[in-house]
Chain A
Amino acid sequence: MNDQQQMIQETVSRILRDHCSKEVVDAAEAGNWAAGLWQNLEDNGLTLAGIPEANGGIGGDYADSLLVLREAAGFAAPLPLAETLIAAHLLALAGEQVPMGPLTLATGDFSLKQEGQGFRLTGYASEVAFLPWAQVLLVPVAGGQPALCRLNPTDITATTRHNMAGEPRSDITVDTVLAAEAVSAMPVDPLTLCMNMGAAARAVQMTGALTSVLNLSVQYAMERTQFGKAISGFQAIQHQLATLACEVAACQRAADALMTSPEALSALDLAVAKARIGEAVSLVTDIAHQVHGAMGYTMEHSLNLRTRRLWCWRDEYQREAHWEAEIGKLVVAGGADNLWNLITTAS
């Protein structure tokens, strides 16, 4: 980590400690936008780190923002930080200005046709994150001329529910005519880019939450006493936590390769991270909940703020099976005698 990143990490942790209490997360689950927390992060330039200043960002590296995501996930911050970062990166690529406030995006099946002076956008997407709280909805369109569409979330018919983590997710159907200014041509396929950035962001967020789950579990085991001693004294508990620590350490190393720009990120490193980290969630959350006993199964204890998010994030932007298949295809295409070489070239 460089000095800049050290500073970012410290600032983010401080803000989260002060403004992302369990009450704030609970209130968000009850439908209240965490305006104060967002404002604090935005005022400190932490929602648009790594987005060029010319486009309204604050400059620096994209990895700076991933660091923000990792820290925020450790506190279960109920904000579309990942979505805003991805949307901002796409807007900057399109040469557009990035507005302030939370943004989101819809990755789905969309098509775009010229109509009069503007364009008709039709299609649908499911599980659009944080739509009710977003200022702008971006829709990347892959087919034909790759494009990025900007929509006003209030103009869209959406069915919104809360996912397992209590975060808003919406299914949307769009059939609307957009003004020419709301559509930008893209130099790359924005949908694939978006899926990859999304997967990387979720993997980084999972790593932050997993690390926090390890810390909470170790702490709980040292505090909880049964049979006249701290449960951390029981070998069965020690071994469970050792296994948990192994998984978390592996996830941290898998995620390290993601700390770069979306353009520099290798397909293999991304697939490895999303597959490996997603797989770890099952074992880690199993052990963490077992160690926490019934208390961990309550809404009162804060373990669930992390574990419920982990259960959602592992599924978003493709599950492990998808990414494992991606890696497998690369290996099979290279053949048996190139397998080791492929492994050593993965950073």
Chain B
Amino acid sequence: MFQGLQFEPVSLPDHAEALRSEVREFIERELPPDYLRNSDFNTGVSAEFSQKLGAKGWIGMTWPKEYGGHGRSFLERYVVTEELLAAGAPVFAHWIADRQSGAQLLKFGTEQQRQTYLPRIARGECYFSIGMSEPDSGSDLASIRTSATRVEGGWLVNGSKIWSSGAHQNHFMITLVRTEPPSANRHAGMSQFMIDLKSPNITIQGIKNLSGESDFNQVFFDDVFVPDEMVIGEPGNGWEQVVSELGYERSGPERFLSAFRVMVEFVREVGDNPTEAQVALIGRLTAHLITLRRMSVSVAAMLESGKTPVTEAALIKELGNSYERMVPELIRQLVPGRTSLRFRQTLEECILHAPSFTLRGGTREILRGVIARGLGLR
């Protein structure tokens, strides 16, 4: 039975706000003035920037110190992530490792895996890809066919993953594979492997997206050997693990800030002399954004208190994605006559990326299904 929604009001503690100023100063110092800022987390890649963030202690913030983490709260982590996104900083190199792969290792990995990889991730040196989707398995993730067969000391992987963001530049991919043939229980018999993307017998082919960048790939596995020590968690437990991973993937501020720089540049363009329609649109978009942000802070607080906000994460992603798709569409109607090159580039980049907002990390339709389950409808 439907029990109501669970977004508790939360305000950020003072120490989180103090951290905010520190992050702002850091970003202003580090980003070159002519850098074209993009608040879509999937865009800018800079290993150098990621390492500097690592040195500041802003990667793996919530992990225990013994694994190179910083024992800080999810609310503090929230502040750092939203500041980086809002400023349009190049964060993609370490983003997935920090957001979800590290969390997977912490939760399901062996002691040896944690000790080996978490400190490297936290230093901003070790980057991960997500290996879920396949050419014939998108939303229906349980239908994957990439398989692994048992061999001496490990497994041999065959098959292919697709849309693997950053696989051409990242070090590892947490890969969902079938370790047993499909059975009546569709969710049984899967496992997560941490695959070194530089292993022999792996081919990585870039795929161009609408803006012409090849930031995702198809990855082919032809008898790729994965040693036992690279299995994450128990073989067969892959589905449960992947569901847990999606919780981290869906709830953050990257799900409503992708178009934020378009708003900033629009405000710059209209300057001191906006039309009434421009003022009203800026007001409307701001009202949505403030509200989404409050919801996201609530989710961060739930994570902090050890809850798994599955429905809430889906809800904020769905609402946030719709919002970030609406931003460029509404702004383009009210663009002033003369605009700067920077504005046009920012807007066009956003329009070209926008179709991905409601696909990546679970489509709009899949999220609505998750919310409907939370409402008790299915």
A interface residue numbers (CB < 8 A to B): 211, 215, 218-219, 221-222, 232-233, 235, 237-239, 241-243, 245-250, 252-254, 256-257, 259, 268, 271-272, 275-276, 279, 320-321, 323-329, 331-332, 335-337, 339-340, 342-344, 346-347
Main secondary structure of the interface of A (DSSP, over half): helix
Tell me the complex Cα distance, A126–B270, Å. 36
Question: Which of B267, B295, B319 is the one whose CB lies under 8 Å from A331?
Answer: B267
Number of contacting residues on B, CB 8 A?
A: 54
Residue in A238, A242, A271, A324 whose Cβ sees the most chain B Cβ within 10 Å: A242
Q: Are B375 and A275 interface neighbours, CB within 8 A?
A: no
Tell me the complex Cα distance, A211–B5, Å. 9
B278 contacts the other chain (Cβ, under 8 Å)? yes
Within 8 A of A (CB), among B320-378: 322, 365, 367-369, 371-372, 374-378
Known interface pairs A243-B318, A245-B315, A275-B287; 11 further A-B residue pairs with C-beta atoms within 8 A, sorted by A's residue number:
A211-B4, A238-B375, A250-B295, A253-B295, A253-B298, A254-B287, A275-B283, A327-B282, A328-B278, A332-B282, A343-B86
Q: Are B283 and A325 interface neighbours, CB within 8 A?
A: yes
Tell me the complex Cα distance, A253–B5, Å. 11
Q: Are B377 and A328 interface neighbours, CB within 8 A?
A: no
Q: Are A328 and B319 interface neighbours, CB within 8 A?
A: no
Which residue on chain A has the smallest CB distance to residue B6? Answer: A249
B interface residue numbers (CB < 8 A to A): 2, 4-5, 7, 9, 11, 20, 82, 86-87, 260, 263-265, 267-268, 270, 272, 274, 276, 278-284, 286-295, 298, 312, 315, 318-319, 322, 365, 367-369, 371-372, 374-378
Main secondary structure of the interface of B (DSSP, over half): helix
Q: Are B371 and A325 interface neighbours, CB within 8 A?
A: no
Residues of B within 8 A of A332 (CB): 267, 270, 272, 274, 279, 282
User: Assuming the A-B contacts A331-B267, A344-B20, are A324 and B376 also in contact, with contact meaning beta carbons closer than 8 angstroms in the complex?
Assistant: no
Question: Which of A215, A259, A275, A339 is the one whose CB lies under 8 Å from B2?
Answer: A215
Q: Are B287 and A339 interface neighbours, CB within 8 A?
A: no
CB distance from B136 to the nearest CB of A (A): 22
Q: Are A245 and B5 interface neighbours, CB within 8 A?
A: yes
Q: Are B267 and A339 interface neighbours, CB within 8 A?
A: yes
Question: Which of A215, A238, A272, A344 is the one whose CB lies under 8 Å from B378?
Answer: A238
Question: Which of B265, B284, B371, B372 is the one whose CB lies under 8 Å from A279?
Answer: B284
CB distance from B72 to the nearest CB of A (A): 18
User: Assuming the A-B contacts A275-B283, A276-B291, A326-B283, are A239 and B372 also in contact, with contact meaning beta carbons closer than 8 angstroms in the complex?
Assistant: yes
Tell me the complex Cα distance, A235–B289, Å. 28
Q: Are A221 and B377 interface neighbours, CB within 8 A?
A: yes
Residues of B within 8 A of A335 (CB): 267-268
Q: Are A271 and B287 interface neighbours, CB within 8 A?
A: yes
Question: Which of B9, B264, B318, B322 is the one whose CB lies under 8 Å from A337?
Answer: B264
Tell me the complex Cα distance, A253–B265, Å. 27
Question: Which of B7, B263, B293, B377 is the one whose CB lies under 8 Å from A249?
Answer: B7
A-B contact pairs, 22 of them (CB 8 A): A218-B375, A222-B376, A235-B369, A237-B377, A239-B365, A246-B315, A253-B9, A253-B295, A254-B291, A257-B294, A268-B290, A272-B287, A320-B284, A324-B284, A327-B282, A328-B286, A336-B267, A336-B268, A339-B286, A340-B260, A344-B20, A347-B294
Q: Are B368 and A276 interface neighbours, CB within 8 A?
A: no
Which residue on chain A has the smallest CB distance to residue B268? Answer: A336
Residues of B within 8 A of A239 (CB): 365, 368-369, 372
CB distance from B223 to the nearest CB of A (A): 41
Q: Are A343 and B265 interface neighbours, CB within 8 A?
A: no
Residues of B within 8 A of A218 (CB): 2, 375-377
Q: Are A321 and B280 interface neighbours, CB within 8 A?
A: yes
Tell me the complex Cα distance, A165–B358, Å. 38
Q: Are A250 and B319 interface neighbours, CB within 8 A?
A: yes
User: Assuming the A-B contacts A246-B315, A246-B371, A326-B283, are A241 and B291 also in contact, with contact meaning beta carbons closer than 8 angstroms in the complex?
Assistant: no
Q: Are B9 and A328 interface neighbours, CB within 8 A?
A: no
